[in-house]
Structure 1
Amino acid sequence: MLRNGLEPWHLMILAIVVIVLFGSKKLPDTARALGKSMRILKSEAKAMKETDVQAPRTDPPA
């Protein structure tokens, strides 16, 4: 089916489609918002891991 997956020319076509759809003026704002969302997601995931480590689960008495 798909042996090579994503090749460089696929990325070029995808980039062209994104530029045509969103326009070159909105791309920096979109990239900035995506980066901010990724930072928030990473910090929340890290906080969840730290909370899990600090408060180990205990089984309630039967």
Structure 2
Amino acid sequence: MNIGAPEIILIILAVLLLFGYKKLPDASRSFGRSLRIFKGEMKGMKDDDARAATPAPPAVLQAADADRRAQLEAEAAAAEARAAELRARAAQPGAADAR
């Protein structure tokens, strides 16, 4: 089944009749955006599959976990120190009067 020039002209006329010449640029722009989003999502799914298929070596994961654990412990220590400082200020006599 070959589509020749007369069939293409009929399709173009049908599209123009359905959408009108003023709405055609907006419709084609929307169609292009939809295709771009669809392609991006498909590429993202392929990238996710590729990442899941090649797991990171355990040594890299352990090093990353150790770094993250050390960072969280440092943040917790800083938060505890700040809380102790605030408790000490609140316990001082006249602390409520200063506010």
TM-score, length of structure 2 as denominator length: 0.51
**Structure 2 residue 9 is the aligned partner of structure 1 residue 19:** no
> What's the counterpart of residue 2 of structure 2?
5
Deviation string, structure 1 residues 27-60 (Cα, Å, up to 9, x no partner) = 000000000000000000000001111102xxxx
Give, in whole Å, the separation in 2 of the partners of 1:35 and 1:53.
27
Q: Which has the higher contact order (CA 8 A, sep 6+)?
A: 1
How far apart are residue 8 of structure 1 and its match? 2.3
Give the SS at the match of 1:26. helix
What is the total number of aligned residue pairs between the two structures? Answer: 53
TM-score, length of structure 1 as denominator length: 0.78
> What's the counterpart of residue 37 of structure 2?
40
Q: Which runs of 5+ in 1 are unaligned?
A: 57-62
Structure (1/2) with the larger helix percentage: 2
Give the SS at the match of 1:37. helix
Give, in whole Å, the separation in 2 of the partners of 1:42 and 1:8.
30
Q: Which of structures 1 and 2 has the bigger CA Rg? A: 2
Q: Which runs of 5+ in 2 are unaligned?
A: 54-99
Supply the AA of the counterpart residue of 2:32.
G
